[in-house]
Amino acid sequence: TQGPVSLPAHTTALCGANAPPSRHTCEGLFIAMLGMQALRVRAPARASGVLAKRYIHPYSISPRRAGPGGRSSLTGNTVTVFGATGMLGRYIVNRLGREGNTVVVAFRGDDYCVRHLRQMGDVGQMTFQRINVNVEESLRAAVQHSNVVYNLMGKNIDTNSYSLGAMHTVVPGTIARLCREHGVEQFIHTSALGADKTSRSRYMRAKALGEEAVREEFPGATIIRPADMFGDEDWYSKRYSRMLDLPVTGCPVMDEGYQLKRPVYVADVALAMCNVLRDHRLAGKTYELAGPREYLLRDFIKVVADVTHRDTRLFNVPTGLYEWLSSILELAPSHWPYFSKDEAIREGLDCVPGGELPGMADLGVEPRYFEEISLNWLRMARKAMYNDEPLPDNVRQEGAIAAANLPDMKRGIPREY
């Protein structure tokens, strides 16, 4: 290192043609070139069902804890998250990253789909693995170095590439088997509140069969059944805020909107699922996660209307006609259907916990009320003149009044808005 050092032409331009490079400059350039070589990745193959071989920096389970705890520490866990780009996934990845876990994000979309997840962990703690759910080896590559696996994948409708049965039954069973083969300590699977093999909804039937497949392949799995989730990225409360603007009719409902609902905040579900990782005594059970307050659907829409400064206009539609119209919307030529027949069937079903399985309290979470936080994302649904208005005083009382009168309302005593 004491003699003259010859550098390539492109590095000479950086250091200067006549100025001899310093020792620190040479070391920095050498490390940079090694990093560029390590990050060189070939594009995936275009053929269907085939993944191109590419270089991925190896990651492994951290054998020990390091640091005081937090984002720049190590918990000793390597966690694979399937479905991290979804509504629930980003909250779970955020919590895992800031607690010091090494996170493997398994995704099948474009790199732009996961770019917002890169900042959720410290340098070197976020790894991205492209997968194809139809290729078992790609799923194996995502779980073989991990000791904890979350499966959050799901979809609302059938598509040409993936059906409800494949995504909610076949793929979870395959992932559970691979986890068992590679000695994964915890497998946490997301189902749905109301999953039942006898349900009219194909979605709920597929979720119930998926639970059975997971239990068969990984008996110690933890199964989470969340209710309808609301939050900044939801398509639940926002959809009702848009339907309230429909001309003439207002928001259409079935059976006068007398379905029981207990929606839950997505961040509370993410916290509960991460608590399973922290305390191994919570693993291996089935949990039903719901919000703190039970509504009739018509009352929930009333709260949405009050938050967004709209009139509560409900239009009753017979169940058969409502489902038929939804099947027409499902065929609409759009990137994603506005509404599907199966979603209409699920809207007509009660979605509340049965009370026999553990819930939020058993996972150490106190769920938050919809009325208290919904303005964060429903403000965009307001008209300009109401944009800066605070939350109306009556909104905080609406939910409590609705919950107190729920038994009478369920017996069919109408309420006028």
For 261-295, the pLDDT digits (tens) are 999 999 999 999 999 998 889 999 999 999 999 99
Helix (H) and strand (E) counts for the chain? Answer: 16, 13
Task: Measure the CA dihedral 191/203/343/371, to 10°.
Answer: -10
Is 135 a residue whose pLDDT tops 70? yes
Contacts of 339 (CB under 8 A, 6+ apart): 239, 326, 329, 330
Per-residue pLDDT, 405: 58
Question: Mean pLDDT throughout 323-333?
Answer: 83
Tokens of residue 188, six digits: 């946490």
The answer to whether the CB of 192 falls within 8 A of the CB of 263 is no
Task: Fill in the amino acid letter for 256.
Answer: E
Mean of the per-residue pLDDT values for the chain? Answer: 81
295 strand-pairing partners: 261
Share of the chain above pLDDT 90, in %: 47
**Tens digit of pLDDT for each residue in 38-85?**
444 333 433 334 443 333 444 544 546 666 677 777 778 899 999 999
Contacts of 30 (CB under 8 A, 6+ apart): none
For the chain, give the number of residues.
Answer: 417
Higher per-residue confidence, 9 vs 110: 110
Segment of 10-24, 58-72, 314-328, 336-350 carrying the highest mean pLDDT: 314-328
CA distances from 6 to 11, 20, 25, 139, 154 (A): 10, 9, 13, 46, 56
Segment of 9-23, 310-324, 332-346 carrying the highest mean pLDDT: 310-324
The answer to whether the CB of 154 falls within 8 A of the CB of 235 is no
pTM for the full predicted model = 0.80
Question: What is the rounded CA–CA span in Å between residue 89 and residue 120?
Answer: 12
Per-residue pLDDT, 408: 53
Per-residue pLDDT, 53: 39
Least confident of 12-26, 207-221, 299-313: 12-26
Contacts of 320 (CB under 8 A, 6+ apart): none
What is the DSSP annotation of 108-175? Answer: -S-GGGTGGGGGGS-TTSEEEEE--TT-HHHHHHHHTT-SEEEE----SS--SS--HHIIIIIHHHHH
113 exposure class (CB count in 10 Å sphere: 0-12, 13-18, 19+): middle
Residue 58 zone, left/alpha/beta (φ > 0; ψ -120 to 50; rest): beta
Question: Mean pLDDT throughout 160-178?
Answer: 91
The answer to whether the CB of 288 falls within 8 A of the CB of 248 is no
Is 259 a residue whose pLDDT tops 80? yes
Question: What is the rounded CA–CA span in Å between residue 59 and residue 6?
Answer: 35
Is 303 a residue whose pLDDT tops 80? yes
Neighbours of 68 (CB within 10 A): 8
